[in-house]
């Protein structure tokens, strides 16, 4: 019985990783809010977070910068990577910085997911 009980926890954690579940104890809203708070960032969209292993997580996101801050893209990228790594423990990140254009206001792909 002891082996069965301890195995269930390991099985549950393994299933979470296999199903690419979001990292435990990381809030989607908090990550998005923190990345949108970076200077020059107008909005963040297409945020995806998933567990690679029990100790490693990945993040992919698009950050939209103001047209007049396009020359600051490398600073925005560095700040976003630092936040993802240091604050949220993301070991793998894919961050795309893009310049704002009006079509983004009505873009279905730029909207937050609905629960």
pLDDT tens-digit map of 4-57: 677 766 656 655 455 555 666 889 999 999 999 999 999 999 999 988 777 788
Q: What is the pLDDT of residues 92-115, one digit of tens each?
A: 999 999 998 888 777 776 667 665
Bridge partner list, 49: 59
**Cα 97 from Cα 64, distance rounded (Å):** 6
**Cα 44 from Cα 34, distance rounded (Å):** 10
Residue 85 has pLDDT above 80, yes or no: yes
Residue with tokens 């600051």: 72
């Amino acid at each position: 019985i002891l082996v069965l009980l301890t195995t269930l926890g390991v099985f549950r954690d393994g299933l979470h990783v296999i199903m690419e579940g979001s990292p435990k104890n990381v809030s989607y809203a908090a990550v998005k809010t923190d990345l949108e708070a970076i200077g020059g960032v107008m909005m963040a969209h297409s945020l995806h977070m998933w567990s690679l292993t029990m100790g490693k997580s990945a993040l992919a996101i698009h950050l939209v910068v103001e047209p007049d801050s396009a020359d600051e893209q490398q600073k925005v990228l560095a700040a976003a990577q630092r936040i993802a790594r240091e604050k949220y423990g993301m070991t793998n990140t894919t961050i795309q910085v893009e310049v704002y254009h009006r079509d983004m206001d009505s873009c279905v792909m730029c909207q937050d997911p609905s629960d």
